[in-house]
Amino acid sequence: MSTEIRQLEPKVLWNKFADLNAVPRPSKKEERVIAFMKAFGQNLGLDTVVDSVGNVIIKKPATPGMENRATVVMQSHLDMVHQKNNDTVFDFDSQGIEMYIDGDWVRAKGTTLGADNGLGVATIMAVLESSNIPHPAIEALFTIDEETGMTGAMGLKGGLLQGSILLNLDTEEDDEIGVGCAGGIDVTAKRTYKEEETPEFKVGYEIQVKGLQGGHSGMQIHEGLGNANKIMNRLLFDGFENYGLRISEIDGGSLRNAIPRESTAIVAIDAVHEDAFIFDMAMATNTIKKELKTREPDLIIEVSKCDAPKHIMDLGVQEGFTRAMCAALNGVYRMSADIPELVETSNNIARVVVKDGTIHVGCLTRSSMDSSKMDLANTLRATFELTGCEVEFSGDYPGWTPNMDSTILRIMTNIYEKLNKEEPHVAACHAGLECSILGQNYPDMDMISFGPNIKGAHSPDERAQISSVQKYWKFVLEILKHIPKT
């Protein structure tokens, strides 16, 4: 419960995290958390503004003796990914996150935890509220809608901030100092089709894929996790030839930045081939489970009889759709040739909806190289256009190019080595960070990203490591002490 969380060290940070997690804050519905953060700044008597898109900026003067140091922008995003297990009853629009301690980890009961990026927000809140933490002048920037479009960062106008150093607190490995990230683009394929009445000789079945881990579609795209949409399509592929399978509905995945954990399909098959269908589904289920047994030990595929659906897809459209889904790349497209073990380009087939005569497929394509990003996006576009879909690109944002001559990088590297007796991992990541966008209107700002250990982000398995938060908090305090003079 939040009472236990509030007793964790550092209490000042965990208490702010508990306060924040009591406020519903889904992406694109941040009104309550914006009001919460605005009231927080105003109650401290600090200069607090909400900009034209909803970002909250709170400014705090330097502590005595630190007035001649460079102004620092501390930045995190207010929204969180809302995911829950299918058997969890929870209303993200009205309930606060229910947390508990599991050994050295803080978790949530059947939902995402909101450590991404709530721990960063809580860190900044703790600094703003403090009376005994030495720091230079602080400009706290709390952006909105990072998880589903980065529209907060995109809408932040130049001139609102005067800081020369930006500390982005949205990295999820405590031994990593982030200096670059991938850009991304949303690829959406749509089409309509003519529904047909289901013939009387067909019977209905529901197919469910569930129990997958899910996860962050950037940071975990290379881990070999199961994608519910691809698994479902594998079960449906060639179904017509084998037992007259016709698709009525599909509902798979959720958010673009989350690897899809679940998918449900309603189909009709020829009654005469019912035994063959059940046998083949069992064989396919065993095969897929065997392939994924190491990475997805809890995978469940259920095939159960239901009422025959009233309508089914046009057969030609169905065959084109299942083949396009089979051909569309999901996972790693290219590894970086310059940075060892870094995914350069990838795609996540995140959302698939087939219903009422419409098809919708939503993908998130990422890359640290814009040309490779567009190459893969156009590959997906061609794949779906060949089946009659209209494909649109949206939400395009650039990557963040590493600056290895960064002053704050040198300072933070030295501090990390002194605190931990080892070198940090200076790296670019395959996630999208707001630094890439903020740098467009603030090109001279020296930017860096770091944070505590957070595992399973964007999934109900999300968890934050308690000992890592303690390590990270000490790092934050030392960084603020050692900001260079202007």
Helices 274-291/228-236 angle, 10° precision: 150
Q: Compute the distance between CA of residue 168 and CA of residue 165 in angstroms, rounded to an integer.
A: 10
Give yes or no: residues 226 and 261 share one domain: yes
Give yes or no: residues 122 and 193 share one domain: no
Helices 11-21/115-129 angle, 10° precision: 120
C-alpha closest to that of 255 among 229, 286, 291: 229
CATH of the domain at 328: 3.30.70.360
pLDDT by position in tens, the chain (length 486): 578 999 999 999 999 999 999 999 999 999 999 999 999 999 999 999 999 999 999 999 999 999 999 999 999 999 999 989 888 999 999 999 999 999 999 999 999 999 999 999 999 999 999 999 999 999 999 999 999 889 999 999 999 999 999 999 999 999 999 999 999 999 999 999 999 999 999 999 999 999 999 999 999 999 999 999 999 999 999 999 999 999 999 999 998 999 999 999 999 999 999 999 999 999 999 999 999 999 999 999 999 999 999 999 999 999 999 999 999 999 999 999 888 889 999 999 999 999 999 999 999 999 999 999 999 999 999 999 999 999 999 989 989 988 999 999 999 999 999 999 999 999 999 988 999 999 999 999 999 999 999 999 999 999 999 999 999 999 999 999 999 999
Residue 486 falls inside a structural domain: no
Question: Is the overall model pTM greater than 0.95, yes or no?
Answer: no
Residue 257 falls inside a structural domain: yes
Q: Compute the distance between CA of residue 392 and CA of residue 483 in angstroms, rounded to an integer.
A: 45
CATH of the domain at 37: 3.40.630.10
Residue 210 falls inside a structural domain: yes
Residue 160 falls inside a structural domain: yes
Q: What angle do CA 301, 303, 304 make, to 5 degrees?
A: 140
Domain boundary among 376, 397, 418: 397
Give yes or no: residues 392 and 306 share one domain: yes
Residue 357 falls inside a structural domain: yes
Give residue for tokens 């090109």. Answer: 443
Residue 75: the pLDDT is 98
What stretches of 214-273 show up as alpha helix (H) in DSSP?
228-236, 239-243
Give yes or no: residues 343 and 403 share one domain: no
Give yes or no: residues 216 and 312 share one domain: yes
Residue 341 falls inside a structural domain: yes
Give yes or no: residues 195 and 340 share one domain: yes
Give yes or no: residues 177 and 193 share one domain: no
Residue 117 falls inside a structural domain: yes
Give yes or no: residues 403 and 386 share one domain: no
Residue 70 falls inside a structural domain: yes
Q: Compute the distance between CA of residue 394 and CA of residue 444 in angstroms, rounded to an integer.
A: 27
* Domains: count for the chain: 2
Domain boundary among 397, 426, 446: 397
Q: Compute the distance between CA of residue 57 and CA of residue 48 in angstroms, rounded to an integer.
A: 6
Give yes or no: residues 171 and 194 share one domain: no
3 state SS of 382: helix
Q: Judge whether 43 and 113 are in contact, CB under 8 Å.
A: no
Residue 146: the pLDDT is 94
How far is the CA of 219 from the CAs of 312, 331, 431, in angstroms?
Answer: 38, 11, 6
Q: Judge whether 90 and 106 are in contact, CB under 8 Å.
A: no
Q: Which residues are catalytically annotated?
A: 79, 146
Residue 68: the pLDDT is 97
Domain boundary among 341, 370, 397: 397
Q: Which domain, by its residues, includes 217?
A: 185-397
Residue 3: the pLDDT is 87
Give yes or no: residues 285 and 372 share one domain: yes
Give yes or no: residues 137 and 266 share one domain: no
299 CB-near residues (< 8 Å, 6+ apart): 209, 210, 211, 212, 226, 288, 289, 292
C-alpha closest to that of 416 among 479, 368, 334, 486: 479
Residue 29: the pLDDT is 94
Give yes or no: residues 369 and 440 share one domain: no
